[in-house]
Structure 1
Amino acid sequence: MGEMFECVLFTASLAKYADPVTDLLDQGSVFRTRLFRESCVFHQGCYVKDLSRLGRDLNRTLILDNSPASYIFHPNNAIPVVSWFDDADDVELFNLLPVFEELSKADNVYTRLDQLREQ
């Protein structure tokens, strides 16, 4: 993914927990930026990932998340995924590779995501 996108870790977890876990998982240094709970907006009892705070073009920004509450400010940028709980046979992200490849070439993720949702 790091070859197709600027990958940013944006989590509602506390940095003291998420940073060491990310160090273990991100051996190839794919995440260019790490954002933790303090970068979220506390809104109606939930930590929301406000993509406008990234300072990136939202027409070219995606959020991949298992919690719809986390992306309520930007639902049209979202690719929802199911929660992962230690399933060695899980291939959800692998199955999304063709979608990511298409989106990496899109000038506007909204248009392409809308098309994909209609299929």
Structure 2
Amino acid sequence: MQDLEIYIRDLEPGQVSAWLEVHVDKLDLDDSDTAKVIKGFAVYEGAGLRITLYPGAFGKRFTSLVLEGESLPWNSDLDCARSAWRAMETEIRCSPGDWKEGDPVEDEKWWRLDDRGEKMVVWN
């Protein structure tokens, strides 16, 4: 199983489903209330895709989006973040891909995509 995770700033209801519906099949995701954990499902290349939204990640303004499946629409968190940024036009962050569970987070750099471009930043 593979996974992708991005963080969406100030997520508005319906934004994730509107973005994903052009990339996956049989999308079943009710993201009309972004203040609660949301679980959904879709199909990509014939395989199931689990979708989970976790509000309040890294402070109250970000929502974590996790996609899990045997096959995913993007090859990396950054590719996923770029697609989300183009669709939602709100700040998107993601890991550079080298962090592993248990590693210290203090000096961790993240990709930040916003109207200023793409840049590696410390989260806060």
Instruction: Normalising by structure 2, report the TM-score.
Output: 0.30
> Larger helix proportion, structure 1 or 2?
1
> Larger strand proportion, structure 1 or 2?
2
Instruction: Normalising by structure 1, report the TM-score.
Output: 0.30
Instruction: Tell me which structure has the larger Cα radius of gyration.
Output: 1
